[in-house]
């Protein structure tokens, strides 16, 4: 079957790209070859006066260059050549003798957008699935098929850098406002309008009016304004990446070079930089994450599990922050009935309002129409009784963290739920197996551990017990995915995966505080290492009381090595619970984080002394985590190193460019970690004693990844 098909209608060749058997169109070597042939044929055909180009995929135009091909590349020179080949093809499109109109529906990303930018005119559907963007930065590379040249020329350097440097995708309406898209249409008339545009362009050239407003013109239109744009962009990139990600700076350089030296030179530089970046360690790690995430999307969570059961109605027990977050996220992402239940109507009303806020936010951000908003809000309902639970295929409880309360809720739910319904607990500290002891059908009980705030945190831990049926696992995993979460299945062991490996890290941060290191020094060191926030800020965000409780659970399970320093209790006693209380390690006013509150020092019983160098801070924190991570993997807490790394990256922002804690451990080498842990244990105590897993790995020179 051919990749390209076309027919000529009244002088317009209507071309469809549809890679057989593939879920999306990508620009692979074969697609490139066939595109050249197609263009040559259309050029020869004297009946063809213009071309209208579409995708045959339902929700995808072109997803970019083929990422699979990047991993095969063996040298920077090969990668540079790949970029040059890509540029040559896109140049062939840009200089094609007959006008080409791109009719875009679905994702139009990376090389896909670079192709569209080379077309004479772009029509896009105003559908939420139509997203246009240059996500290359997220793979540690840069747009190298002319994207760093054509986008700034089309919409100005400021707007283009905004997209390129963040690896952002824009919805079609925004792309239209920016001037990337020339016409915005409903999907039903995409073909008709694009063909009409092609016909028009065959007769008279199209003069595009540059958008971007007065400020854009002022900044982009003169060399000084442009210098300012580049200066600001560089500053922002460095502030965000701490210099850990080379790709945004390279992209900035490619854009700057092209705008000052001209298109040809810009393209040359773009290809050269692509060559260097593609083979870099950072890009390799980011591409590995792309593949791991993709594998997880297809994983049903249990070997031989049947497909997830359909969930048309969700019931949520507990309308606090987590329950309301789960309810609101479900309505926004899945658009199904959600029934919220709590002990009294006052709490239910509060929960419904909080859930509704998430729907309101979509409207404010113009992600949905007023009509859609009304439709979604109508999915939310609540009660202080279990009415409405009879139609739910899944119930998630998010009530108080006490075993007896959760077991009581489970019994009450089972009395009203339909026979096949799944009961999920959102506990973070109680073993699911213990909750399931109260169940009449433990094969339908599972853990679904969401992170806070539910709407924003991308990870979900799904926790089956020994009795949980594979169908229950796939239903929980499938539902989590519909919520837009990356889902890992973990063992029913204290702290599951994320909190288990965070435990020693947080404890060590507290130990550092008690040695007189300032909170901001600890946070700064870890942000520089690549975390989005440091551990002390994280404590404030999570809640010092919540972290303390989680710490106690880990200590009860694992003993001395997990002992949280007693000083945290003094802060909790002082009502210093973190951001939610308006005071923690840091000061907060009107929801804004300020500086460190000096009142913590007498509470902790220390004076800051600046005695520990940054390198040691980083070493103690990360090694404490790696030691525990290796131990947890050996105990089978995660099913694979892949799940462990993805869990840490999406769960608490372990630096993606390091590939996750287990890849980082592989890079360090277990033997080196073993030696360093021994040294730390001698100096600081047995909490650093190398775990058996590290001892074994060091001895056998084993790695997590081949």
Q: Which residues bind ligand 3H9 (CB under 6 A)?
A: 23-24, 26, 60, 63-68, 82-83, 86, 107, 109-111, 114, 135-136, 139, 143-145, 147, 294, 297-298
Measured in whole angstroms, how far is the alpha carbon of residue 444 from the centre of its chain?
30
- Residue 248 CB contacts under 8 Å (≥ 6 apart), including other chains: 137, 165, 237, 240, 241
- Token pair, residue 421, equals 């319904």
What crossing angle do the helices spanning 246-261 and 147-155 adopt, rounded to 10°?
Answer: 60
Cα–Cα distance for residue pair 411/143, rounded to 1 Å = 55
Q: Residue 530 — left, alpha, or beta (φ > 0 → left; ψ -120 to 50 → alpha)?
A: left
Q: Which two tokens stand for residue 431?
A: 């073993």
Q: Which two structure tokens, joined as six digits, stand for 197? A: 């545009």
- Please check whether residue 673 is in contact with residue 301, taking contact to mean a CB–CB distance below 8 angstroms: no
Question: Closest Cα partner for 38 from 12, 57, 56, 15?
Answer: 15
Closest separation between CB of residue 87 and ligand 3H9, Å?
7
| Tokens (6 digits) for 370 | 């007023």
**Sign of dihedral through CA atoms 432, 433, 437, 440?**
positive
**Cα–Cα separations (whole angstroms), residue 237 to 243, 285, 406, 599:** 8, 20, 46, 34
Task: Tell me how far CA of residue 458 lies from CA of 474, 481, 483, 651, in angstroms.
Answer: 18, 10, 9, 7
Rounded Cα distance, 398 and 326, in Å: 9
CA proximity to 106, closest of 57, 65, 59: 59
- Going by their DSSP bridges, the two strands 121-125 and 183-185 should be labelled as parallel
Residue nearest to ligand 3H9 (CB): 110
DSSP secondary structure letter of residue 363: H
Question: What is the Cα–Cα distance from 279 to 277, expressed in whole angstroms?
Answer: 5
Of 114, 414, 461, 508, the catalytic one is 461
Burial of 549 (0-12, 13-18, 19+ CB in 10 A): middle
88: which 2 tokens? 């040559």
Residue found by looking up tokens 């971007």 in the block: 212
Residue 310, preceding bond cis, omega within 30 degrees? no
Structure tokens at 453: 């705030």
3-state secondary structure (DSSP) of residue 650: helix
Write out the H or E segment, with its range, that includes residue 53.
strand 50-55
Backbone conformation region of residue 605, classed left if phi is above 0, alpha if psi is from -120 to 50, else beta? left
Nearer to ligand 3H9 by Cβ, of 107 and 319: the residue is: 107
Beta carbon nearer to ligand 3H9, 297 or 440: 297
Nearest to 18 by CA among 68, 53, 66, 46: 53
Q: Which residue has tokens 């083979």? A: 279
- The answer to whether 560 is a known catalytic residue is no
**3 state SS of 365:** coil
- Minimum distance from residue 145 beta carbon to ligand 3H9 (Å): 4
Is residue 370 packed enough to be buried (19+ CB in 10 Å), middle (13-18) or exposed (0-12)? exposed
Tokens coding 523: 């946070």
Catalytic residue positions, numbered: 461
């Amino acid at each position: 079957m051919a990749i390209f098909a076309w027919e000529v209608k009244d002088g317009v060749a209507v071309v469809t790209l549809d890679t057989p058997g593939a879920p999306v169109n990508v620009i692979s070597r074969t697609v490139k070859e066939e595109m050249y042939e197609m263009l040559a044929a259309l050029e020869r055909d004297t009946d063809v006066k213009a071309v209208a180009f579409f995708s045959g995929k339902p929700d995808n135009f072109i997803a970019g260059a083929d990422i699979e091909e990047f991993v095969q590349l063996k040298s920077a020179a090969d990668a540079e050549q790949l970029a040059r080949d890509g540029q040559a093809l896109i140049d062939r499109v840009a200089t094609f003798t007959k006008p080409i109109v791109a009719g875009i529906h679905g994702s139009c990303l990376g090389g896909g957008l670079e192709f569209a930018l080379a077309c004479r005119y772009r029509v896009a559907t105003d559908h939420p699935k139509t997203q246009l963007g240059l996500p290359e930065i997220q793979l540690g590379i840069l747009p190298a098929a002319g994207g760093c040249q054509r986008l700034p020329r089309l919409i100005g350097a400021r707007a283009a850098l905004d997209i390129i440097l963040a690896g952002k995708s824009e919805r079609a309406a925004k792309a239209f406002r920016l001037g990337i898209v020339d016409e915005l249409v409903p999907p039903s008339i995409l073909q008709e309008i694009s063909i009409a545009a092609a016909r028009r362009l065959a007769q008279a050239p199209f003069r595009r009016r540059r958008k971007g407003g007065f400020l854009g013109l002022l900044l982009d239109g003169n060399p000084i304004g442009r210098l300012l744009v580049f200066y600001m962009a560089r500053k922002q990139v460095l502030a965000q990446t701490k210099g850990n990600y080379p790709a945004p700076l390279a992209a900035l350089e490619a854009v700057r070079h092209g705008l000052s030296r001209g298109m040809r030179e810009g393209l040359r530089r773009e290809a050269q930089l692509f060559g260097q970046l593609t083979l870099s360690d950072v890009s390799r790690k980011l591409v590995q994450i792309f593949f791991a995430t993709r594998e997880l999307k297809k994983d049903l969570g249990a070997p031989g599990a049947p497909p997830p059961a359909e969930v048309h109605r969700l019931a949520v027990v507990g309308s606090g922050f987590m329950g309301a977050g789960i309810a609101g996220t479900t309505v926004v992402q899945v658009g199904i009935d959600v029934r919220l239940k709590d002990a009294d109507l006052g709490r239910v009303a509060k929960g419904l309002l909080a859930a509704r806020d998430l729907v309101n936010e979509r409207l404010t951000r113009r992600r949905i129409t007023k009509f859609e908003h009304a439709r979604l809000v109508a999915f939310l309902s609540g009660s202080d009784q279990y009415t409405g639970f009879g139609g739910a295929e899944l119930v998630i409880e998010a009530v108080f963290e006490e075993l007896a309360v959760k077991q009581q809720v489970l019994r009450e739910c089972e009395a009203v739920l339909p026979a096949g319904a799944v009961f999920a607990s959102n506990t973070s500290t109680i073993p699911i197996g213990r909750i399931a002891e109260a169940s009449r059908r433990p094969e339908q009980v599972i853990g679904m551990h969401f992170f806070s705030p539910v709407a924003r945190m991308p990870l979900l831990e799904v926790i089956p017990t020994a009795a949980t049926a594979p169908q229950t696992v796939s239903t929980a995993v499938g539902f989590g995915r519909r919520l837009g979460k990356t889902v890992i299945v973990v063992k029913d062991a204290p702290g599951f995966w994320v909190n288990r490996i965070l435990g020693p890290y947080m404890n060590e941060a507290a130990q550092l505080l008690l040695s007189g290191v300032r909170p901001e020094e600890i946070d700064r060191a870890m942000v520089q290492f690549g975390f989005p926030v440091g551990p002390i800020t994280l404590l404030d965000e999570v809640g010092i009381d919540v972290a303390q409780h989680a710490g106690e659970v880990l200590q009860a399970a694992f003993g001395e090595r997990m002992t949280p320093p007693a000083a945290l209790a003094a802060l909790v006693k002082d009502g210093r619970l973190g951001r939610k209380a308006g005071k923690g390690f840091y000061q907060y006013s009107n929801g804004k984080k300020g500086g460190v509150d000096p009142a913590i020092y007498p509470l902790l019983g220390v004076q800051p002394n600046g005695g520990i160098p940054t390198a040691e801070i980083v070493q103690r924190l990360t090694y404490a985590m790696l030691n525990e991570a290796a131990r947890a993997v050996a105990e089978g807490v995660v099913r694979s190193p892949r799940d462990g790394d993805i869990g840490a990256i999406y769960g608490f922002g372990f630096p993606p460019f390091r590939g996750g804690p287990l890849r980082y451990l592989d890079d360090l080498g277990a033997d080196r970690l073993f030696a360093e842990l021994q040294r730390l244990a001698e100096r600081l105590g047995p909490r650093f004693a190398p775990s058996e897993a590290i001892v074994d790995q060091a001895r056998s020179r084993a790695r997590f990844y081949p």
